[in-house]
């Protein structure tokens, strides 16, 4: 039986929320940026931050320009930020946005959907299910797929892959084989501690194995730094992120196998994780990540 529990409180997004953004205060100097990747393809860093923190998580989008319209992957944390991104896109093309791909169903990637107006929204089918249950009403995907679909737009080929649950129940990886670019959305946070609050640590490792087999030069993260990073640095960041997910999974699995309580696991996890416990946002993300992973590995795992 395919059944997933919806953990509304588990989203990085909902924890972060845009409280400060709504007040127009980031607490830190950060300007959203459009970052050229290869010809006609940009990444965009949006200003996702946590109240009281000096550093910025960033919510990233992918922008694909074609002669037959623009494809945007991931729509920012709120309508104002999505509009700001659309204005940045309009500064580099006169083409309208035709497709919005919601690669993660979490709020910080879909709450801006309404800014896009009359576009085709595409998502993995379980991502759409989860969005339809959101407390924030939003335009929902009109096109869904299960495991894989391909979009051909203005001479560009975009493969949409769902390799299984990872950060969310319905993650999409967007791969442009001819451009050798893969946008990983929430399957990859660059330089930030992992967020596994939906409890899919084991599946996430399988998804990362699949992603790393893609024949790409550029692996673009859905959160964390892109600006100034080379393709090799982003690839190294992905490998480090993979090691981070594995470290959490393996440490919690050891505690579960030993019959340790969640409390004991939580008390010892800093030492277990070593260098990964020093990553930005560790203190903010560790509780949900360790709890959800502990629950999943101690037998209350959602069936895949
Ligand atoms: Zn997110």
- Dist. CA 91 → ligand 1 center (Å): 26
Q: 8-300 architecture in CATH?
A: 4-Layer Sandwich (3.60)
- Dist. CA 107 → ligand 1 center (Å): 7
Q: Domain limits of the chain?
A: 8-300
- Dist. CA 70 → ligand 1 center (Å): 22
Per-residue confidence band for 300, with pLDDT thresholds at 50, 70 and 90: low
> Would the pLDDT of 6 be above 60?
no
175-219 pLDDT, tens digit each: 999 999 999 999 999 999 999 999 999 999 999 999 999 999 999
Q: What torsion do the CA atoms of 289, 290, 291, 294 make, to the nearest 10 degrees?
A: 120
7-21 pLDDT, tens digit each: 333 344 444 443 334
Q: Angle at Cα 180 formed by Cα 178 and Cα 181, nearest 5°? A: 120
- What pLDDT score was predicted for residue 177? 98
> Would the pLDDT of 277 be above 70?
yes
Per-residue confidence band for 107, with pLDDT thresholds at 50, 70 and 90: very high
Cα gap 178→180, rounded to integer Å: 6
Cα gap 74→70, rounded to integer Å: 13
Nearest of 95, 33, 26, 20 to residue 60 by alpha carbon: 33
- Dist. CA 153 → ligand 1 center (Å): 26
114-168 pLDDT, tens digit each: 999 999 999 999 999 999 999 888 999 999 999 999 999 999 999 999 999 999 9
- Dist. CA 295 → ligand 1 center (Å): 21
Mean pLDDT of 275-298: 95
- What pLDDT score was predicted for residue 28? 65
pTM above 0.75, yes or no: yes
- Dist. CA 47 → ligand 1 center (Å): 12
- Dist. CA 168 → ligand 1 center (Å): 9
Beta strands 59-66 and 69-73, pairing class? antiparallel
- What pLDDT score was predicted for residue 24? 38
């Amino acid at each position: 039986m395919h059944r997933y529990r919806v953990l509304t409180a588990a989203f990085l997004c909902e924890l972060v929320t845009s409280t400060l953004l709504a007040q127009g205060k980031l607490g830190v100097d950060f300007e959203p940026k459009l970052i050229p990747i290869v010809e006609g393809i940009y990444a965009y860093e949006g200003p996702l931050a946590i109240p009281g923190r000096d550093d910025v998580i960033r919510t990233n989008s992918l922008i694909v320009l074609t002669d037959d319209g623009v494809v945007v992957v991931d729509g920012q944390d709120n309508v104002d930020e999505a509009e700001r991104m659309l204005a940045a896109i309009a500064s580099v093309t006169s083409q309208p946005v035709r497709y919005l791909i919601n690669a993660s169903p979490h709020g910080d990637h879909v709450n801006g959907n309404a800014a896009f107006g009359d576009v085709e929204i595409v998502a993995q089918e379980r991502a759409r299910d989860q969005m339809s249950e959101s407390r924030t009403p939003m335009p929902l995907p009109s096109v869904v797929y299960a495991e894989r679909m391909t979009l051909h737009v203005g001479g560009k080929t975009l493969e949409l892959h769902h390799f299984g649950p990872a950060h969310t129940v319905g993650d999409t990886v967007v791969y442009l084989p001819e451009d050798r670019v893969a946008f990983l959305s929430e399957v990859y946070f660059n330089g930030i501690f992992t967020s596994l609050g939906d409890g899919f640590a084991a599946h996430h490792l399988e998804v990362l194995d699949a992603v790393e087999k893609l024949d790409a030069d550029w692996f673009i993260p859905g959160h964390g730094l892109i600006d100034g990073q080379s393709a090799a640095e982003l690839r190294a960041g992905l490998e480090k992120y993979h090691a981070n997910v594995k470290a959490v999974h393996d440490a919690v699995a050891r505690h579960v196998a030993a019959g340790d309580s969640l409390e004991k696991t939580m008390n010892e996890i800093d030492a277990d994780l070593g260098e990964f416990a020093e990553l930005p946002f560790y203190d903010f993300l560790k509780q949900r990540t360790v709890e959800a992973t502990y629950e999943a590995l101690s037998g209350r795992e959602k069936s895949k």
